[in-house]
Structure 1
């Protein structure tokens, strides 16, 4: 299996209290991997560790190995095509890591500025002034199915968009940076049923070209979207299920038992 990420022996603690313990997981190059588990099992902390967002919180200590493939920019002596440990001495700069491993959160976090600036400002900060930035903005908005809705109001505040539109904008803001890996933390939790279906279809389409690692609390959503489901408990991945195993009553019962 060709990998995008390999996590080995990951441990994350806050002020000495362990949230993730001895967690290991391989993430393939494409497809949707869904993490299922009870609240407090460590899923979101695990997700945030992959682009080192936990380090934004005081008292965080992280150890283990998170290898990103390929290593990419010449920030290590690794051979082309090999991976680099984002927790190691030759890790990419945080800006580059978070560009390559993008994350969208449960609640849309649009910037307090126009729709246009929500997309162009991150692009400028990460990439600098680029020729064709407007074209990239349009392509990102079209990719998430938002262009037709906002093309006449790009200079209006992003906060005026509906919840579902804001979540699509957050996805577009991530995609304009051309990430290698998408991390989604319950991206439909605050959305209505119709918008949830739209976002699920969008994520499935995006996963055809890149890996998606998504936290969810919904067995139904996992059955609809996942190429594989990973049960998360006690701070680490515990069991994996294939779509075929999820398809019948026996698979759903096994999942329920694993989550209790």
Structure 2
């Protein structure tokens, strides 16, 4: 129930609704803090918290001595999950990634007029969690070490997504670049293909959920904000075994995910 939310979130969500419905348009100034405090019968500190929450959505901007104004909606990055046009000749067409992984992330962004950047990966090794054992098709009681490569990714300097790539340590010892805290220029799929671990297919799954604490901090969200989208991709090798798991967490309102099949007019695909 809306009344169960803290007052500052009720105010923020009401203003957000007015922006989404067009009652408040791009360039409009929001009511002053005093006006909002009187309207909602709260203190100005509560209103300040509400406006701070609203700024996290990227839809308003506060200008000193002028007020808080509605910003134009940002054009989202379109993530194409089955893009076969990527420049990856060393990988079979049916196995090319799409979905904003590795080189695909930069290419997707550049084609749409954005600049994509990312941090160097944080590499950690630790015992497999139950969900990781399940993803890799391993018995729940098996003791396995998992390599995690975590990267923070940005579009035009703004936080866009968090990506986690997981591999068994057994595989990583055969592909040592996975253990380095450096970018793999050709991407995980192409690098592993060069070593004989060829991705022949993948399974995509999605979840919409509240952001975890570290995600909320990175994206500038509250735990009560819009849901993040979690995209999990399990990749299979030529022997039909899962050998790579990638989990990408997308910032709300910053990404649009699409999938196409059959003959779609080029003008539609180029219009993203």
TM-score by length of 1: 0.27
Structure ranking higher on relative contact order (CA contacts 8 Å, 6+ apart): 1
Larger radius of gyration: 2
Higher helix share: 1
